Amino acid sequence: CVLVLCWFYIYPGYRLPRDKEIVEEVLRQGEAWEKNQTGVDLYRKLLTECCDPKKMFAVTKEFYHSHTVNKDTYPLFVKNNPLQLPLKKCAVVGNGGILQHSKCGRDIDQADFVMRCNLPPLSKDYVEDVGTTTHLVTANPSIIEKRFQNLLWSRKAFVDSMKVYGSSYIYMPAFSMKPGTDPSLRAYYALADTSSNLTMLFANPEFLRTVGKFWKGRGVHAKRLSTGLFLVSLALGLCEEVTAYGFWPFSVGLDEQPVSHHYYDNILPYKWFHAMPEEFVQLWHLHKSGTLRIRVGHCT
């Protein structure tokens, strides 16, 4: 392994490589990438052992005896895992500014299953870089509160803005923390009452917990794992091949020019909440071992 990242693995308490060092490391590696089936199988096995994504990723009616499922919530859950497994080529799309001018939209849309984070904008200004196809999109309850007034006023703006996600699954962590439950259930009913094409899937809190523990054991020390890393973990458990786009939590790009935090704005996350650079180092390790592919440059 290349020197900079080796430091990190050998001395987990050691400092993270600086942005510039990561840029140099990524440039040295270049676009070369080869799938390593042994690495893919190993990670699927590890994730299955720790977190059983196939069975556990969403709350289903099967979990009838858990505290989440009672007579009020039972009708809201899917019967069992609704995905046709195994999924073949999956694209996990993070929201990083590295996607700007990447022209990765067509690549992303060609995947068999496309996962996106946090109801991202997919308007025509972004299509060329991020595509439009979506099969699963996460929605944090805080987005419902902040962007849609907790759905206590009009629901129309919410229902209309969900149309860009076609007939995908909306994946919400409704039961991980108490304040998140009400906004999530409101979102569920807003869609159900308007016969929306979207299907709500509620993230299983136990799955979120075990995935967090899995990465903690691998040196990701954050208050909470980023949404993107959850989705990559899910994809590694469910898909035959995983490509990640929009993962670049650094302030400079490969051309050493400034990069905004998101492809649609430059609002930075609360500083100590996530450990995205640590997560990136892990993902880059998986990229180098051929377990998944990270696209950081242009797709043309």
Residues that bind ligand CDP (CB under 6 A): 94-97, 117-118, 226-229, 246-249, 261-262, 269, 274, 276
Rg (CA), the chain: 19
Tokens of 105: 């939209």
Query: What is the rounded distance in angstroms from the CA atom of residue 193 to the CA atom of residue 262?
Result: 32
CB of 215 to ligand CDP, least distance (A): 12
CB of 111 to ligand CDP, least distance (A): 16
CB of 273 to ligand CDP, least distance (A): 7
DSSP state of 64: T
On the CB side of 14, how many CA atoms lie within 13 Å of its CA? 12
- Residue 127 or 268: the one with the smaller Cβ distance to ligand CDP is 268
- Residue 175 or 247: the one with the smaller Cβ distance to ligand CDP is 247
CB of 221 to ligand CDP, least distance (A): 15
Pick from 93, 101, 109: nearest CA to 253 = 101
- Residue 186 or 262: the one with the smaller Cβ distance to ligand CDP is 262
Type of residue at 82: P
- Residue 93 or 191: the one with the smaller Cβ distance to ligand CDP is 93
Dihedral sign from CA coordinates of 207, 213, 218, 220:
positive
C-alpha to C-alpha distances, 187 to 132, 170, 180, nearest whole angstrom? 22, 10, 11
CB of 170 to ligand CDP, least distance (A): 15
- Residue 100 or 289: the one with the smaller Cβ distance to ligand CDP is 100
CB of 282 to ligand CDP, least distance (A): 11
Residue 138 φ then ψ, to 5°: -85, 155
Q: Which burial class, exposed, middle or buried, applies to 183 when counting CB atoms under 10 A from its CB (0-12, 13-18, 19+)?
A: buried
- Residue 53 or 96: the one with the smaller Cβ distance to ligand CDP is 96
